[in-house]
Amino acid sequence: MVNYSPQYVNKFSCLGSKCPETCCHGMTIDIDKETHSKYQKIKIEGITDIPNLLKKNDNPTEKHFSSIKSKKDGYCSFLGNDGLCSIQKKYGEDFLSHTCYTFPRKNINFKKNKLVTLSVSCPEAARLCLSNKNSMEIYEDKFYKKKEFKLVSEKFETPFANTGNLIINKVYQLLQNEKISYLNSLVIFNKLLEEQLNISQNSKQFDEIYKFFYENFCDIEIIAFDNSNLKILFLTDIFNIIDQFKSKHTYSNFYTQKLISLIENSYLELVGRFDNVDFAIENLKKINQEYFCKFEQKNNHIFRNFFLNEILGYAHILTNPDSFLKYNFYMSIFLATVSKIILLGICSKEKREPTLEDFISIINSVERSNQIFFHHDKNFKMLFNIDILKFYDKIDKKSLFNSSLLVFG
């Protein structure tokens, strides 16, 4: 098997009990059916009635059979006082659920090829991924830097999967190219997604279609107007969604509360303290120009790295015509928008440029508590909160991509 991974993945090492934001708190730990059966029989000193610590899912599947109940303080029921997993200490890694064994790794198997990325909901993964402009360079088996990589082996490829592989390679090259705005790269990527099924019926068209999109979108101004008004409307909408979430959830874990507080503080700073929305818009324009734009210029790799890491993290869906890839892509833009607006709130309140550490901490919090904005259907596909879709519909009913990019940019 050929293993592909961005450079930063090979540098990752779990901080364990030293991690500032343990993954054993505030996260839903899915248990597969096999592990669920194992846990019915284990015995751990100090932990009673272990079978009742597992909650069977409403629509159980082999991969998502049950989940671990949390303690009242939000920590995993199996987390010991020493900050270590009591299951792993007694029974070893082989007894861990798939989620616990792999997190924050996203291992995507393409029969004979594998692509490994990390979730930026892990603070150490976020730091490694976003702090260095070279973090997303792809390596084969940890040693050989690759300009192109093949995610489907010849034996298993289909026309659709082969086209998906071509698209992934192109978006990788685009987002690694600092001469092209990452917004333009995202537009070209979305155009290729929209045409993937058609291209797959005649793969010889790919180079010609890509050339057309590249020549028409690589250097145009994607957003030719100030979108501060859209950001104010977006933040107001998110603030209302937070209110609804709080009314339905009497208890939220520490990390969810942290994100709620960040959003509420941003709303009060950017919207709530102004008597007139026009004043709020003017303030946001000023803050963006004085602080945030300078930050982006100094750190022009951060959103490139973020989006490329997100896209590679669900690259397997590009090989499946029955996919929700576009949804995953638009969700990534949404999460980046929330993070950007929280940063703008910090700029406004503290009258300073944000730091790279600010961005890493915020994107980590937003990714970690995304259940505020998304939910899973009975097949465990992640979907937008309906109120977010209604907001985007007001901007452009025909294109969720256009709506999300117009607010983000």
pLDDT tens, position by position, 82-96 = 777 888 888 888 888
Q: Is residue 171 part of a domain?
A: no
C-alpha span between 201 and 158 (Å, rounded): 10
Q: Is residue 81 part of a domain?
A: yes
C-alpha span between 270 and 361 (Å, rounded): 20
Check pLDDT > 70 for residue 322. no
Contact (CB, 8 A) for 292 and 352: no
Q: Look at 16-25, 179-188, 283-292 and tell me which has the smallest mean pLDDT.
A: 16-25
Contacts of 96 (CB under 8 A, 6+ apart): 35, 85, 87, 88
Check pLDDT > 90 for residue 111. no
Which pLDDT tens digit goes with each residue over 221-248? 988 789 999 999 999 999 999 999 888 8
**Based on the structure, what is the number of domains in the chain?**
2
Cα 175 from chain centre: 16
CA distances from 251 to 257, 258, 356 (A): 9, 13, 31
Q: Is residue 251 part of a domain?
A: yes
For residue 90, give the 3-state DSSP assignment. Answer: helix
C-alpha span between 349 and 351 (Å, rounded): 6
Verify that 250 and 389 share a domain, yes or no.
yes
- Give me the pLDDT at residue 147, please: 77
Write down the mean pLDDT value for the chain. 87
Neighbours of 326 (CB within 10 A): 15
- Give me the pLDDT at residue 250, please: 66
Question: Domain of 66?
Answer: 24-102
Check pLDDT > 90 for residue 285. yes
Q: Is residue 353 part of a domain?
A: yes
Answer with the one of 54, 83, 102 that is the final residue of a domain.
102
Verify that 94 and 241 share a domain, yes or no.
no
For residue 178, give the 3-state DSSP assignment. Answer: coil
Verify that 261 and 396 share a domain, yes or no.
yes
Q: Count CA within 13 A, CB hemisphere, residue 320.
A: 12
Q: Is residue 358 part of a domain?
A: yes
Contact (CB, 8 A) for 203 and 165: no
Cα 15 from chain centre: 21
Residue 11 DSSP code: G
Q: Is residue 374 part of a domain?
A: yes
How would DSSP label each residue in 41-70?
T--BTTB--GGGGEEE-SS--SSSSEEEPB
By DSSP bridging, strand 54-56 and strand 374-376 are unpaired
Q: Look at 171-175, 236-240, 313-317, 332-336 and tell me which has the smallest mean pLDDT.
A: 313-317
Sign of the torsion formed by the C-alpha atoms of 187, 189, 193 and 198: positive
CA distances from 265 to 235, 251, 273, 317, 385 (A): 11, 20, 11, 36, 22
By DSSP bridging, strand 2-6 and strand 382-384 are unpaired
C-alpha span between 409 and 406 (Å, rounded): 6
Which pLDDT tens digit goes with each residue over 346-361? 999 999 999 999 999 9
Question: Per mean pLDDT, which of 35-39, 47-51, 226-230 is the most reliable?
Answer: 226-230
C-alpha closest to that of 20 among 393, 357, 380, 373: 357
Q: Is residue 404 part of a domain?
A: yes
Q: Is residue 147 part of a domain?
A: no
183: its two tokens: 């917004």
Question: Per mean pLDDT, which of 5-9, 80-84, 322-326, 380-384 is the most reliable?
Answer: 5-9
By DSSP bridging, strand 2-6 and strand 113-118 are parallel
**Residue of higher predicted confidence among 175 and 35:** 175
Answer with the one of 102, 124, 158 that is the final residue of a domain.
102
- Give me the pLDDT at residue 381, please: 73
Check pLDDT > 70 for residue 66. yes
pTM of the model as a whole: 0.90
Answer with the one of 102, 137, 154 that is the final residue of a domain.
102
